[in-house]
Amino acid sequence: MPRLAVAAAGLLLTATTTTTAFATAPPQPAPARIATTAPPARIATTAPRSAPARAALGPTDAATWYAPLSTRGRYVVDAHGDRFRLKGANWDGAQGSWTGSGSAADPANHHAGQDSHGIPLGLDRTPLPRLLADFHALGVNTIRLPFSNEMIHSTAPVPDNAVSANPQLRGRTPLEIYDAVVEALSQDGFAVILNNHTNTSRWCCGVDGNERWNSGQTTGRWADDWVFMARRYASVPRVVGADLYNEVRRDVLDDPNWGLGDDHDWYGAAQVAADRILTEANPRLLVVIEGINWTGVPVDGLPHGRPVLTPARTLSHTLVDSRKLVYSAHFYGYTGPRHSGATGIGETHDARYQDLSRTELAAALDDEAFFAEETGRHYTAPVWVSEFGIGSSETNAAARTWFGNVTDYFADHDADFAFWPLVGFEGHDDWALLRYDSAGHRSGILDGGDWRAAAWQHLMTAPGKTGAVAAVPVWRMLSTDHGDAVASLRVRATGDWDPGAHKAACPDGSRLAGLSHTGGRGLCTDAGTGDLRGAEARQTVVTDERNVPAGGDWASGYTKYQCPAGEFLIGYSLRGERLSAALCAPARAALPGAGRTVWFDRSDNRPADAAGGDFASGHYKGQCAADEYAAGIAFTTRVGSRPGPAALLCRAL
């Protein structure tokens, strides 16, 4: 059965889910690491290929790249600011392969009859150096490496037969073997993105006890495990990303959501984990946040569908480092915008992606994911399709056409991608790009006769953005819906600047550019000037009108919280709807004094170009122009009036 997004039968029938208990022992310490060098080491991303591989696939980029990675607008870039396109594949196995029924010791009870033993597939069949050479021959430069939380805590060594082609790994736990794989990939020039795929070590992704990051565990424990993993590989230079959780979806009883603030809030949980990774573990990492894969019950007439990344249009993530966010989505032909991928029980009459025309497919991909690459929006980020795939024995004409159409779309849009899966057993998983028999002989897309090769070649060799990527303004949203949104490390270092209030502060390097009248939203940017803040550590919390000069009443009849001369707005706080304080920081150079009042208590008042996008959907909002800075906030406490921000004092940079 293909790797379904939802096991629909489990949504319709009450079933007992078997899970494996985590070991109680703490994770083992990491082995010695590759030292991180400064300046970043020059890293070759490809190795020479054999003649048959060249004939099958054609040339690939022979580029070099420099860790760590970050983002500029819709592009991932290396440490020198050059484009690094994520041309990836998923090396699965460490997330588990047991299907959840029958004895886990019987390979027949594992996906495609492949018992991974909780480690990356193929180590029982092929020496690790040969596997990596084959990966290079494919042309991939990035490996998405799934793991389970159970793997982290397991203390039992894998059986010797699980690593029979790599005897140096005998006697090691799954985590220690994962260590060795990470080290080898990094040394061989691959970018490695860690992916928390499952909680328990079993095959994903239905109603299986792994629906959400906190299925069977707390959000706090999940975040703790992420801090552990990010720290463990912090000195391995080519470990470049943390893919927070795979295919967040409905369990039998409830849906995940995006921003409700409850225990099933994926937006909030991802924000928490990202914050902890970047502040407690490894600030070098990209943070990959996947959209919601499924909500609702797949029954005609009942609400259901794949939200994917669409909620980010109105509620996007703001990290403490604005250039570390990557959004992610998965697309398979047998699923659809409102189709779970199920057949039989739970199958609806909604179209699958493979039923869509080329034009309809492109529109769906744009609407569900690639809108996030639009320039100059609060949600702008690279979109990585971290899973897509199809089998080499697929005979369905619609499915084959879909694969051609989707790879054409990725090629035409210069998209970042990762195929699922990379490695499989010959005669078992025909989806794998590379398959190995028990003697280690390889077959698959490199060896001829694989119908997928032409589409893969087109995707790998299509022209795209290379070289230096120009710096672009960053726009980011602040949301105080359910608590503080202090994205500035410099502000955090000063302590709680307004105890009891909901506080928001822009990430370091940006300034406050817009506010909403209700809803508590803000907009930050570095447009026009870059980092405006000076080197001084001080900041000013404004709670009265002492900084409003005589004759300078820019909002008559309203209370005005204005920054001192030479300072600009970086944050604000609220008590309920009422403005509580304004937060100001000193500028690196003198600031002009003349300005204008931007009112937004009765309608929107934003620049004509709408830079940043709608950062407060459904609320009135005001915004300074890109060549201005905000120096003050006005509000009223008149009976019958809303006490939220009503006007901004905007001054030319």
pLDDT tens-digit map of 143-180: 999 999 999 999 999 999 999 999 999 999 999 999 99
Is-contact 418 326, C-beta < 8 A?
no
Average pLDDT over residues 305-316: 98
Q: How far, in Å, CA of 457 to CA of 450, rounded?
A: 12
pLDDT tens-digit map of 338-363: 999 999 888 999 999 999 999 999 99
Average pLDDT over residues 392-407: 98
Instruction: Please name every residue paired with 505 in a beta bridge, in sequence order, or none if there are none.
Output: 486, 571
pLDDT tens-digit map of 68-123: 999 999 999 999 999 999 999 999 999 999 999 999 999 999 999 999 999 999 99
Neighbours of 64 (CB within 10 A): 15
Instruction: Give the contacts of 605 (CB within 8 A, at least 6 positions apart).
Output: 598, 599, 621, 622, 623
Q: How confident is the model at residue 1 (pLDDT cuts 50, 70, 90)?
A: very low
pLDDT tens-digit map of 467-517: 999 999 999 999 999 999 999 999 999 999 999 999 999 999 999 999 999
Residue recorded with tokens 């006890």: 209
pLDDT at 172: 98
pLDDT at 59: 33
pLDDT tens-digit map of 519-577: 999 999 999 999 999 998 899 999 999 999 999 999 999 999 999 999 999 999 999 99
Question: Can you give the pTM of this predicted structure?
Answer: 0.92
Average pLDDT over residues 442-459: 96
Looking at 217-320, list the stretches that DSSP marks H as alpha helix, in order from N- to C-terminal side.
219-232, 266-276
- 3-class SS string, 173-231: CHHHHHHHHHHHHHHCCCEEEEEEEECCCCCCCCCCCCCCCCCCCCHHHHHHHHHHHHH
- Residue among 63, 82, 65, 87 nearest 410 (CA): 87
pLDDT at 610: 87
pLDDT at 217 exceeding the cut of 90: yes
Q: How confident is the model at residue 197 (pLDDT cuts 50, 70, 90)?
A: very high
Instruction: State what percent of residues in the chain have pLDDT above 90.
Output: 87
pLDDT tens-digit map of 11-59: 443 333 333 333 333 344 444 443 333 333 333 333 322 333 323 333 3
Residue 260, sorted as left (phi over 0), alpha (psi -120 to 50) or beta, turns out to be alpha
Write b or e for each residue in 315-341: b if 16 or more Cβ atoms lie within 10 A of its Cβ, otherwise e. bbbbbbbbbbbbbbbbbbbbbbbbbbb
3-class DSSP state of 90: strand
pLDDT at 502: 98
Instruction: Give the contacts of 226 (CB within 8 A, at least 6 positions apart).
Output: 196, 242, 244, 273, 276, 277, 281
Residue recorded with tokens 């370091």: 508
Is-contact 347 5, C-beta < 8 A?
no
Q: How confident is the model at residue 592 (pLDDT cuts 50, 70, 90)?
A: confident
Average pLDDT over residues 265-288: 98
Q: How confident is the model at residue 206 (pLDDT cuts 50, 70, 90)?
A: confident
Q: How far, in Å, CA of 254 to CA of 49, rounded?
A: 49
Strand 64-65 and strand 43-44: pairing? Answer: antiparallel
Query: Residue 481 is encoded by which pair of tokens?
Result: 């819906």
pLDDT at 248: 97
